């Protein structure tokens, strides 16, 4: 396993621990749901974005690791002359423009968002299910990158 892939897996594992804590806290109902969501969303987002950055480095087969992972394709260091970016990186660049990665990278809202419909219910701007979905998407990306590394 390459070093950046190991760091990616560690970040995703830490995110899964935070997601478990988030779910447990919501189940206990000791604090208001929107406050729990706000408390967990930032740390989970940070771990997921770290995992994403390490995956970008792994996909490029970069062994000289920075102190912290990049947060986007545009933050990747240049590849050595003669090498081209892998297809996985191009796919990630597209996802950063208009896909689930763009949503993951978006700043978190500090206030509840009012649902615009017949209902007057207030929904928080962040929720556990969305973060769990992003974690699953990242796990799939990690598997695809690991397979590509194994094939090269």
pLDDT per residue of the chain (152 residues) written in tens, 0 to 9 = 458 999 999 999 999 999 999 999 999 989 999 999 999 999 999 999 999 999 999 999 888 889 999 999 999 988 878 888 899 999 999 999 999 999 999 999 766 554 444 545 555 478 999 999 999 999 999 999 999 888 87
Question: What letters, b where the CB count within 10 A reaches 16 and e where it falls short, cover 85-108?
Answer: ebebbebbbebbeeebbeebeeee
Instruction: Give the Cβ contact number of residue 72 at 10 Å.
Output: 16
| C-alpha–C-alpha distance, residues 59 and 132, integer Å | 23
Domain boundaries defined on the chain: 3-151
| C-alpha–C-alpha distance, residues 24 and 21, integer Å | 5
Alpha helices by DSSP H, listed for 82-127, are 87-98, 100-105
| C-alpha–C-alpha distance, residues 30 and 117, integer Å | 29
DSSP state of 79: P
Task: Specify the length of the chain in residues.
Answer: 152
pTM: 0.87
Instruction: Tell me which H or E stretch contains 122.
Output: strand 122-123
């Amino acid at each position: 396993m390459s070093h950046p892939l190991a760091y990616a897996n560690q970040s995703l594992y830490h995110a899964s621990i935070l997601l478990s804590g988030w779910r447990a806290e919501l189940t206990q109902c000791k604090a208001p749901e929107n406050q729990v969501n706000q408390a967990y969303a930032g740390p989970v987002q940070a771990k997921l974005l770290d995992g994403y950055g390490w995956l970008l480095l792994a996909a490029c087969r970069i062994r000289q690791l920075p102190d912290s992972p990049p947060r986007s394709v545009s933050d990747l260091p240049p590849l050595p002359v003669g090498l081209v970016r892998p297809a996985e990186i191009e796919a990630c660049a597209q996802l950063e423009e208009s896909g689930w990665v763009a949503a993951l990278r978006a700043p978190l809202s500090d206030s509840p968002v009012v649902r615009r419909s017949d209902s007057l219910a207030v929904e928080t701007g962040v929720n556990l299910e969305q973060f769990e979905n992003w974690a699953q998407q990242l796990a799939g990306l990690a598997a695809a990158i690991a397979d590509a590394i194994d094939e090269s």
